Structure 1
Amino acid sequence: MTIIHTNSVQRQLDPITFEVLRRSFEYTCERMSQVLQKASFSPIIYDMVDYSNAIFDPDINLIGQTANCPVHIAAMHFSARASLKQFPIEELSPDDVIILNDPYDGGTHTPDVTMTMPVFNEGTLLGFAVSRAHWTDVGGGFDTHIAGEGLRLPPSMLYKGGKPNTELINIIRNSSRTPQYIEGDINAQLGALRAARDEFIRLANKYGVDVLRQGMREILDYTQQVTREAINQIPDGVYEASEYVDSDGFIDDPVRLRVKLTVAGDRIGVDFTGSDPTAIGPINSPYANTASAVYYSLKFFLNPEAPANAGMYRQIDLNIPENTWLNPKWPAPTLGCTTVASSKITAAIWMALGQAIPDLIVAPTCSDANWYVASATDPKTGELHVFTDLPAGGWGGTPNHDGMHVTMDPLGNCQNLPAEIAELLFPIRYNAFEMRTDSAGAGRFRGGVGVHVEIEFLGRGEIIWMECSRTREGSPGVNGGLHSARQRQMRKSLNGSLETIGGMADDGIWHSAMLGGIQFQPGEAFVFESTGGGGWGDPLSRDPKLVSQDVRNNIVSKEQAVNLYGVVLKDDLTVDQQATNVKRAAVKS
């Protein structure tokens, strides 16, 4: 077996061959995702697109990925390296597949299952195909110990020479509340890996191993150079910001992170010194997850158009102190790491960058995936079903545009579970799924709005786990923009009354929004109100005609139009310009 090493070299490929290989690396991952989505059994994979696929060179450097869940991608680098530490390259053969989901061995949270396969061509190792998918259930739930979060697999041989490890597959099935999905999802990820294998071999046969090897080197060097140039455009300096999760579910105090960005020439340092210690509840972020969140958060502003690969990582220096909640040790629980912690890392980095490039920065999003897992019992058969969803909120305003409505946080390009699919598969009913008026942060460019969701349980129901933040004060604005509304979780009783079970109640009492084991009787409904993004710029500088348009579209109420934007509307919702001028002048004075 020949091992290819991809150290940095000078440019040798002609531009056309370079571009063909660059696009081929991307296409390989796109094909992986098409196979995975079409072949998977879990709704969270085929409908909600909670997965990622990538290819790596023989030194386990990322050379291509799909634009699925950004928080997965850099973390998969750690998963692949952990797998190959357990099973050295020299011992691997074609069609071997290694599986893991251990947060403390390259994983993130336990539902994210990563499969790694080496790709050979006539005895030569070309690289690795890696597929990560969020499975519906691997057991466990809301806990203070990682053991309570379900099955935790160290790097294990799932397929040896293409033959399945049936004993391991049976163990996985027995550890899930949804065993009917397991084998289908495993085979779907296996199909994705084999699709990558076929494309790797096709490229090697067409261009030769040496050219393929050179293409891998040069694509990494190219992204590194683009990243260096982008960092050079940011003024040198030290920029700091902080963020927090509302609580860890066991202690009501916020859990805070602090980030310091140091820009010096063509390098940027990211330092989390001063962040809070390891949390009791399941919001802790293992190193791989924190690093991944840093990389995708910076990519938005460093090199969004450059090929997505490990060349970017070369210009970023990380300091993530151990025994903080951003780099915990076993046995700290990590269930909310991808969905809570990563989004707060993004918000903090964006706010720090806002001090350096205020005219380019985007206001923070709802900064949460609002992920929940619920069970519902069929009232006719008594069968227990488990389902999950990610009800999105709004993105923040930008220097030129309003924020996007009801869009997944930057951590993932996931979609919500369609109501039609949910009602077809599970004993639940969607009574509402509508945009939430006045949920966006006001600004010259306002944030996007969140959503109001109401899900009725036809039989007995339970929120097994839900994480949520932004319940204390909403999403912050930038450059004079205002906060968005708060998020809130509620129970709707049989008589229609609403009880706040997470977030700020109408009586001013705040309840932890980290939920577990919340029971619902048949006919009761779970109600969730997500928030919008923060505002960008002074709301009093917003075009009054845009405010009028927002009121017509039920994005902003007439009351907020006056109180936050200083815009007075007539009965037909057109702008009363004279009254608006007076109102805005009074507010400014």
Structure 2
Amino acid sequence: MTQHSTTAPTAALDDEQLIELETLRYSLIEAARDMHQSLMRSAFSPVVRDVMDCTAAIHMRTEHGWEMVASWEGCMQHAFTSQHICNFTMDEWQEELRDGDTILVNDPWRGAIHCADINLLRPVLVDGEAKFVLHSTSHVVDLGGSVPGGFANGVQTHFEEQLKFPPTLLYAADKPVKSVFNYLLENVRVPAAVLGDVRALYGCLVIGEQRIRALLDKYGADKVVAGGKYGMDMTERAMRAGIAELADGDYVAEDSLDDDGVEDEPIPLRATVKVRGDSIEVDYSGTGRQPLGNVGTAWIESTRCIEGIKFIVEPASPVNSGTLRPIEALLPPGSAVCVLPPSSCSNHMDVGGRIVNMVTQAVGEAAGAHSIGCDSGTASGLSIGGIDTRPGREGNPWATFIVPGGGWGGTWRSDGLSFCLLSIGNCRTPVQEHTERESPLVVWQHEIMPDSAGVGQYRGGFGGVYTVGTLSETVLTITGDRARRGASGTQGGGRGMPLYGWRLPSFDPAENLRPTDIRNAEPLFGTFNEEGIPDPGAGRFGHGATHRSAKLSQIVLKPGEAMRFVIGGGGGWGDPLRRDPAKVLADVRNGLHSPEFAAKGYGVVVDDGVLDESGTAELRRALAKQRDAGDWSPPDAAPVEWIR
């Protein structure tokens, strides 16, 4: 239900009241910031400490239920789902909670994203009544189940996934509930890392309570609550003002996932963004049925799609429940965006990333060409683990989570961002030195992939190439999509390069580190031509590869072997034949584009690092004429020449 502001407009406040409310809303944000920084400093696993797959938030009881009044930068998709987790949990527990109690929950049907993201909630009681709830959440490197790391590719029910906790008392009056800790730690592969992260999640809530108590002591509960409401209302007004600038209408976006890891069929996705005045409804009618595999989501797309709206209509205001108020979503039960139990939904990233792309494009159309090319559509998440056999570490179980990252799409005023993760996460790639110190892995290569960005007047961002080897026998799970076709462009822009994967059985770092070198490389998945060369425009998906999906589980990698993944770039924005030739030349000189691709995709002729202006003008005229005749269109991004 759409909610409306209750705080008086700022014009009705005197200067002293306004200063006090501003101080309080920023104090709540700073409390969330302190929580988040404490979590990252004290966490054990790289998925929290390095990747930043975590969030801290503060909720407050209002006439609308529990609303999120503050959050801090982290994995931002958590911030959009956070208040729903709080409402489910407090509906079950709020009458029984005491000071120091902390609840654990990771149930996707109670608002969590997937079971690998655990949530801790701690009430702050005022006169015996819960007024605030502090919330921390993070991905954990393992929580049991058939596949290490949380992305249970190939399974069809949540019974085959990781442990699932309904709201469960984890700390009672600040004392650990031993039975819950014992159950948790006895069922995970890496109990030391999980215990360290759980303690960090708990410790940051204790710090948050100290900050909230200090505010309550200084200002009193009524003023702190007023400051929280003021902050939410400010954000709501900013969102509504941005939405009101859009043209009323229905804007449709469609896309599809490659497959679900079980059936070899694309999964259609459809979103209709209905703009009416200062509010929006996102209707997912037309989305494909609930998949057999684990790629569906348990209704969280009702909130994560809001990221795609916020990008365009109001990117500056803090994220809180005011961000959500002007937007509603309709999700068909039993569809890919609202799977029903007992479906598996451990791989939330593919649907989530795609939905944000789709909604961004639809809202961009409403804003009048202010669309954004799609991002790489996959983080190519790698869940890796095993038993260490290095001297001095023999027999130690280990696990890690790696997200190499791709590129974002071009916009109406700039090129897309290169070498970064999906927009749904706002996360980071791991620190390579940490990965190698803490795991029997060697990161041989992590760099920009040339010729991977979608062409356009503003090109997409470049994707990445990631090559990793192992010093101990290792089990690897790959969670990827956009391996059939790369990220689509907008306003005439071209597609980014799709996802590719190879096994390198006899890896030699002295010989095999050229990104386009596919000698001694066994294709795992991708789109290849008859000669076995990556060819997203004319090739066939799976041709010559060992798999027909980029969602693979439990691949065994032996010492001396390596895996290489190319994560594609973002889609382009606008006509590539209108791109400034000087920008194309700069990309060629920087090694980001080859001269061959510059000519093929942009009609720009570069000879020995020098721009041929007359040759460029002639080639562009010829390509434009071919396009008018239907014989040329912006090519899919990919290197033209490969070493084989």
The TM-score range, normalised by the shorter chain, is over 0.9
In the alignment, the residues of structure 1 paired with residue 551 and residue 440 of structure 2 have an alpha-carbon distance, to the nearest angstrom, of 24
Query: Deviation at 1:122?
Result: 4.5
Aligned partners of 1:376 and 1:428 also within 8 Å: no
In the alignment, the residues of structure 2 paired with residue 274 and residue 399 of structure 1 have an alpha-carbon distance, to the nearest angstrom, of 29
2:309 corresponds to 1:298: yes
In the alignment, the residues of structure 1 paired with residue 82 and residue 541 of structure 2 have an alpha-carbon distance, to the nearest angstrom, of 41
SS of structure 2 residue aligned to 1:374 = strand
Matching residue within 533, 542, 547 for 2:570: 533
Aligned partners of 2:375 and 2:571 also within 8 Å: yes
What amino acid maps onto 1:555 in structure 2? L
In the alignment, the residues of structure 2 paired with residue 538 and residue 79 of structure 1 have an alpha-carbon distance, to the nearest angstrom, of 44
Cα shift readout 1:515-570 (whole Å, capped 9, x = no counterpart) = 11212222111111100100011111011111010011111111111011000112
In the alignment, the residues of structure 1 paired with residue 368 and residue 442 of structure 2 have an alpha-carbon distance, to the nearest angstrom, of 44
Cα shift readout 1:330-370 (whole Å, capped 9, x = no counterpart) = 11111111x21110111111121232124322211112222
SS of structure 2 residue aligned to 1:515 = strand
2:586 corresponds to 1:549: yes
> 2:353 maps to which residue?
343
SS of structure 1 residue aligned to 2:445 = strand
Matching residue within 92, 95, 105 for 1:90: 95
Equivalent positions of 1:168-567 (< 5 A) are: 168-287=180-299, 289-337=300-348, 339-380=349-390, 381-463=394-476, 465-494=477-506, 497-506=520-529, 507=532, 508-510=540-542, 511-567=548-604
Matching residue within 72, 77, 97 for 1:66: 72
What amino acid maps onto 1:462 in structure 2? V
Aligned partners of 2:303 and 2:324 also within 8 Å: no
2:134 corresponds to 1:133: no
The size of the alignment, in residue pairs, is 579
Aligned partners of 2:436 and 2:443 also within 8 Å: yes
What amino acid maps onto 1:104 in structure 2? W
Q: Measured at CA, do residues 505 and 377 of structure 1 come closer, stay the same or move farther in structure 2, by a change above 3 Å?
A: farther
TM-score (norm 2): 0.88
Cα shift readout 1:195-241 (whole Å, capped 9, x = no counterpart) = 21111111111111111121122222222211111111000111001
What amino acid maps onto 1:269 in structure 2? E
In the alignment, the residues of structure 1 paired with residue 122 and residue 550 of structure 2 have an alpha-carbon distance, to the nearest angstrom, of 39
Cα shift readout 1:91-145 (whole Å, capped 9, x = no counterpart) = 2111110101111222111110001111124535331100011111001222111
Identity of aligned residues (%): 30
Query: Deviation at 1:7?
Result: 7.8
> 1:3 maps to which residue?
none
Cα shift readout 1:47-88 (whole Å, capped 9, x = no counterpart) = 11110110011231011011211211121212111211221x
In the alignment, the residues of structure 2 paired with residue 386 and residue 358 of structure 1 have an alpha-carbon distance, to the nearest angstrom, of 46
> 1:8 maps to which residue?
6
Q: Measured at CA, do residues 428 and 435 of structure 1 come closer, stay the same or move farther in structure 2, by a change above 3 Å?
A: same
Aligned partners of 2:312 and 2:360 also within 8 Å: no
Query: Deviation at 1:509?
Result: 4.3
In the alignment, the residues of structure 2 paired with residue 9 and residue 454 of structure 1 have an alpha-carbon distance, to the nearest angstrom, of 54
Gaps of 5+ in 1: 1-5
TM-score (norm 1): 0.96
RMSD: 1.6
In the alignment, the residues of structure 2 paired with residue 26 and residue 273 of structure 1 have an alpha-carbon distance, to the nearest angstrom, of 36
SS of structure 1 residue aligned to 2:108 = coil
SS of structure 2 residue aligned to 1:296 = helix
Aligned partners of 1:150 and 1:175 also within 8 Å: no
> 1:114 maps to which residue?
119
Cα shift readout 1:307-352 (whole Å, capped 9, x = no counterpart) = 3111122211210110101011111111111x21110111111121
Gaps of 5+ in 2: 508-518, 533-539, 543-547, 626-644
In the alignment, the residues of structure 1 paired with residue 294 and residue 426 of structure 2 have an alpha-carbon distance, to the nearest angstrom, of 23
In the alignment, the residues of structure 1 paired with residue 7 and residue 580 of structure 2 have an alpha-carbon distance, to the nearest angstrom, of 53
